[in-house]
Amino acid sequence: MGVASLVLGIVSLVFAIIPVFWPIAWVGAICGIVGLVLGILARKNLKAANQPTGAATAGFVMSIIGTILTALIYIACVAAVSKATKALNNPEFEKALEEAAKDPEAAKALENLKKLTK
């Protein structure tokens, strides 16, 4: 169980650090939680059997870090998207776009942006 906790902790860190499609990112949190439980159980059993607990402890720690990091990155992404949505729906933003469209170079850049966002 200690090795399984270590592997799940590593997987949770990889999913937390590497940017992936957001529904898959929760695999890191799930692996971290399962690794956390396995690490706790493995440490308890290994201490009772008076055996070394290094792999279980490492898995426990990595699972905690991976789970917290995954949650923090997810929260940061949600906050950024929410803030960007509010900024784009701001009437002052629309006025600034209209003003920028009066400049020929800016108008060309805005058209290119519209093509990219479609």
Over the stretch 38-70, which tens digit does the pLDDT of each residue have?
999 999 999 999 998 899 999 999 999 999 998
pTM here is 0.72
Crossing angle for the helix pair 22-48 and 54-88, nearest 10 degrees? 160
Reply yes or no on whether the pLDDT at 88 is more than 80.
Answer: no
Reply yes or no on whether the pLDDT at 25 is more than 80.
Answer: no
Q: Provide the residue type at 39 as one letter.
A: G
CA distances from 88 to 38, 75, 91 (A): 45, 20, 8
Number of folded domains that form the chain: 1
What percentage of the chain exceeds 90 in pLDDT? 38
pLDDT at 86: 84
Over the stretch 104-113, which tens digit does the pLDDT of each residue have?
888 788 777 7
Instruction: Give residue 91's domain range.
Output: 2-117
